[in-house]
Amino acid sequence: MDNVGIVVEDLDAAVAFFTELGMELEGRMPIEGPWAEKCVGIEGMRSEIAMMRIPDAPGRLELAMYHAPKAIVPEPAVYPPNTVGLHRVMFAVDDLQGTLERLRPHGAELVGEVTRFEDSYLLCYLRGPSGIIVALAEQLS
């Protein structure tokens, strides 16, 4: 897998959120023109992407903000975790509580609670920018 793409309403906020989570901005650029329109199937599209990477590991997130046409925000704007489609992105963290505290100023809100899975993990779901569900897992043993 090369990357997972996520459409966001505020690219700066999403980059700040995922940077605080420990990802690095690999690059940022506008995407537009006939080749892009043909690829995504949207005539007249203009967007900007930010490619985020995990340091010293494979896997990237492509964050995209559409300038034209504007992104469609479905109703309801925030779906529950059991909605069909991309479910969530999970990150392994060393300190779940500390990570939550760092992400809260960036708009992170718990979906449920921090829970313990046996003696193996602390787990939680949280909402980030544009309602994205992010899961955190801290390995205990």
Complete DSSP assignment for 19-65: HHTT-EEEEEEEEESHHHHHHHT-TT-EEEEEEEE-TTSS-EEEEEE
pTM (predicted TM-score): 0.88
Q: What is the pLDDT of residue 59?
A: 84
Does residue 56 or residue 77 have the better pLDDT?
Answer: 56
In this predicted model, what pLDDT tens digit does every residue of 73-90 receive, in sequence order?
A: 878 777 777 877 777 889
Cα–Cα dist 102/49, whole Å:
24
Q: What is the pLDDT of residue 74?
A: 79
> Is the per-residue pLDDT at 58 higher than 90?
no
In this predicted model, what pLDDT tens digit does every residue of 90-134 receive, in sequence order?
A: 999 999 999 999 999 999 999 999 999 999 999 999 999 888 899
Secondary-structure class of domain 89-139 per CATH: alpha beta
Domain ranges of the chain: 4-68, 89-139
Q: Do domains 4-68 and 89-139 have the same CATH topology?
A: yes
In this predicted model, what pLDDT tens digit does every residue of 13-41 receive, in sequence order?
A: 999 999 999 999 999 999 999 999 998 89
Task: Report the Cα–Cα distance between both ends of the chain, in Å, rounded.
Answer: 28
Secondary-structure class of domain 4-68 per CATH: alpha beta
| Tokens (6 digits) for 62 | 């492509």
Cα–Cα dist 109/68, whole Å:
29
Cα–Cα dist 73/51, whole Å:
22
